[in-house]
Amino acid sequence: MKLIIDGREVVAQPGQSLLDIISQLGLISGKLSEDPLAARIAGEVFTLNYIPVRQKDAGENPNTRRAMAASGGEIKLLRYSDPAGKDAYVRTAQFVIFLALNRLWPNARARMTCTLGPGLYIDVKNAPGFTAECMKTEMKRIIGENIPLLRRRVSTADAIRYFEGRGDEDKARLLKWRTVEYFDEYAYGDFRDYYYGEMAPSTGYLKVWDIRSAENGFLFLFPDDQCPDQVGTYEHMPHFLSVFNEGERWCELMECETVADLNGLVESGRIRELIRVNEALHEKRYSQVADMVCQRGAKAVMLAGPSSSGKTTSANRLATQLRVHGKKPVLMSLDDYYLDREKIAPGPDGKLDLEHINTIDTDLFKEQIAQLLRGEEVEIPTFSFKLGRRVWNGHRMRLSPDSVIIVEGLHALNPVLSPKGIDSNLIFKMYVSPLLPLNLDDHNRIPTSYLRLLRRIVRDFEGRGATVQHTMSMWDSVRRGEKIWIFPFQENADVIFNSSTLYELAVLKKHIYPLLTAVQPEDPWYDEVRSVVKILNFVQEADVDDEIPPTSLVREFIGGNTFYRK
């Protein structure tokens, strides 16, 4: 069968794996930045151990494999620079990490907690004599063994018995919610696990990494996104880690640390109590932030966060709390300072990069915010998305002695927007992001980006009638912009607000699951959508919208948020 691999035509022999083929093509260099880690065929991602033409398909009437037929034989190789390629590398690292722990401390409980820059924090308990250096040595040994990473299918019942026998109750409880009779796993010796997606072909592909000691565990460092042949630089993130630790305490308080816990609350009806407690914790936190703003004597709050983090609702809820203090909050949006679309130069791909800081008229914003803080009157622009330009409609503003401006926008924490000559104490910085502490199980966390993507798909569909594919087509660009223009400034905030709710996966599933499962394997966004579906497959749907307050962050996405009523 003829294949087209990264534009090169090649004839695949029956039984040859993709790894065999690309090795013959000389595409293995030994450098992470250059070597393929997985492959995309039509809309799906496959391991390089995948065999495009099986022996049984090589007869006179071959039955072409479905993915190969859908792609017409075209295959795109995925490297670390591709999000799906990086995901395969991350899963390979997870396998090596937990295999090493199993060899050295078989009775340990190790739990993935959060991502910190280029690092992944692993909490380790019940591991006498644990050291990061021992972990590093054992991981090097496993990588040197170049263990093939081959997936196998077992019955779900067998997998549950295995994990119960090992004392891995988190995995056994999760699998009891699985609705199909089989389970895919990776195994080596007596170690069995799964990470919900493809891996590199073998452990030897884990070329660039490092380990650092950390409190109660260790930090695993991944390659640098911009230069994958070197380990990423880790900078201490005390604010971020503190907020995530607070989120884990919320999990303990609400008895909801894993998806299995959440499902139990849905089944028992106690999810309504979970909603009430979670919303009360949010309200308390907004109240605390308002206290901080007033104690500082700040006259402006710069409120930033990535897409679908709940910035608009947060701005409104903070405004409500400031009114309790007798303040007169004034809401402003950085969107109104967009440059006219015709004045923005397209990027190398010919498209407008609307995540770039250069799309904002930073000079005008700095000038006007400084004037307002000096007590002067200014005319505020309004950006018309329909016209693609700013309009001036006589919206004039002057602050009273009790006024507090709340400026909401993606770039609100960027130092470029800080006005010169203004007392820094007058400006309070707030970062909002849904730092979900809920895990699938101890070895599989739910990425914060998945929750934000779900929120955005629901909002785009419910509020704008947009398809899943339309939202997905913009998501990679959104994520790239966040890494450059938002995440680097989160530690500059005076406060980081965790806008996640432990109950919302069960609520969002009701709104979006049928749309996600309708995406077919031939669709170019199938694999990205499927990665979210794999998580939702374990989540019990909850029909409890009536319990969610009209000012809840979740209402910003499912509808019914009263802050949006005119």
Mind listing the pLDDT tens digit for each residue in 1-32? 789 999 999 998 888 999 999 999 999 999 99
SS3 per-residue string spanning 344-371? CCCCCCCCCCCCCHHHECHHHHHHHHHH
Q: Are 116 and 220 in contact (CB under 8 A)?
A: no
- Confidence band, pLDDT 50/70/90 cuts, at residue 62: low
Count up the domains in the chain and report the number: 3
Q: Is residue 55 part of a domain?
A: yes
- What confidence score (pLDDT) does residue 64 get? 64
194: domain CATH number is 3.30.980.10
- Confidence band, pLDDT 50/70/90 cuts, at residue 538: very high
Partnered with residue 148 across adjacent β-strands are 202
Q: List Cβ neighbours of 82 (8 Å cut-off, separation of 6 or more).
A: none
- Give the pLDDT confidence of 350-373 residue by residue, as tens digits: 777 778 898 999 999 999 999 999
Minimum mean pLDDT range among 59-73, 247-261, 326-340, 432-446: 59-73
- Give the pLDDT confidence of 246-297 residue by residue, as tens digits: 988 889 888 999 999 999 999 999 999 999 999 999 999 999 999 999 999 9
318: domain CATH number is 3.40.50.300
Q: Is the pLDDT of residue 109 over 60?
A: yes
Examine the domain organization and report whether 318 and 344 are in the same domain.
yes
- What confidence score (pLDDT) does residue 117 get? 87
Q: Is the pLDDT of residue 36 over 60?
A: yes
- What confidence score (pLDDT) does residue 286 get? 98
Examine the domain organization and report whether 270 and 397 are in the same domain.
yes
- What confidence score (pLDDT) does residue 63 get? 56
Mean pLDDT of all residues in the chain? Answer: 93
Q: Is the pLDDT of residue 61 over 50?
A: no
Examine the domain organization and report whether 197 and 332 are in the same domain.
no
User: Which domain does 98 fall in, by range?
Assistant: 85-221
Residue reference for tokens 């308080």? 253
Examine the domain organization and report whether 376 and 424 are in the same domain.
yes
Examine the domain organization and report whether 130 and 48 are in the same domain.
no
Q: Is residue 229 part of a domain?
A: no
* CA–CA distance, 73 with 4 (Å, rounded to integer): 6
Taking residues 551-566, report their average pLDDT. Answer: 89
Coil/strand/helix, residue 379: strand
Coil/strand/helix, residue 254: coil
Q: What are phi and psi of 68, to 5 degrees?
A: -65, -40
Q: Is the pLDDT of residue 121 over 50?
A: yes
Q: Which of 79, 99, 123 is the last residue of a domain?
A: 79
Examine the domain organization and report whether 337 and 458 are in the same domain.
yes
* CA–CA distance, 535 with 406 (Å, rounded to integer): 36
Q: What angle in degrees, to the nearest 10, is found between the helix axes of 83-104 and 526-536? A: 40
Q: What are phi and psi of 103, to 5 degrees?
A: -70, -40
Q: Which of 26, 54, 79 is the last residue of a domain?
A: 79
Taking residues 67-93, report their average pLDDT. Answer: 94
Examine the domain organization and report whether 114 and 183 are in the same domain.
yes
Examine the domain organization and report whether 433 and 506 are in the same domain.
yes
- Give the pLDDT confidence of 312-335 residue by residue, as tens digits: 999 999 999 999 999 999 999 999
| Cβ-count burial 521-549 (b if 16+ within 10 Å, e if not) | eebebbbbbbbbeebbbbbbbbebeebbb
Q: What are phi and psi of 144, to 5 degrees?
A: -65, -30
Examine the domain organization and report whether 214 and 259 are in the same domain.
no
- What confidence score (pLDDT) does residue 58 get? 56
Examine the domain organization and report whether 328 and 187 are in the same domain.
no
* CA–CA distance, 210 with 208 (Å, rounded to integer): 7
- Confidence band, pLDDT 50/70/90 cuts, at residue 57: low
- What confidence score (pLDDT) does residue 55 get? 74
- What confidence score (pLDDT) does residue 320 get? 97
Examine the domain organization and report whether 277 and 375 are in the same domain.
yes
Q: Is residue 372 part of a domain?
A: yes
Q: Are 12 and 21 in contact (CB under 8 A)?
A: yes
Taking residues 477-496, report their average pLDDT. Answer: 92
Taking residues 497-509, report their average pLDDT. Answer: 96
Q: Is residue 388 part of a domain?
A: yes
End-to-end alpha-carbon separation of the chain, Å? 61
CB atoms near residue 188 (< 10 Å): 18
Q: Is residue 228 part of a domain?
A: no
Q: H or E element: which one contains 455?
A: helix 448-464
Percentage of the residues of the chain whose pLDDT score is greater than 70? 98
Higher pLDDT, 116 or 431: 431
Q: Which of 79, 96, 115 is the last residue of a domain?
A: 79
Q: Is residue 226 part of a domain?
A: no
Q: Are 352 and 379 in contact (CB under 8 A)?
A: no
* CA–CA distance, 114 with 439 (Å, rounded to integer): 10
Examine the domain organization and report whether 72 and 146 are in the same domain.
no
Minimum mean pLDDT range among 12-21, 60-69, 300-309: 60-69
Angle at 178 between CA 172 and CA 179, to 5 degrees: 150
Q: Is the dihedral of CA 112, 446, 270, 553 positive or negative?
A: positive
- What confidence score (pLDDT) does residue 66 get? 85
pTM of the shown model: 0.91
Q: What are phi and psi of 82, to 5 degrees?
A: -85, 135
Q: Is residue 515 part of a domain?
A: yes
Q: Is the dihedral of CA 290, 293, 299, 302 positive or negative?
A: negative
Q: What angle in degrees, to the nearest 10, is found between the helix axes of 259-268 and 504-517? A: 100
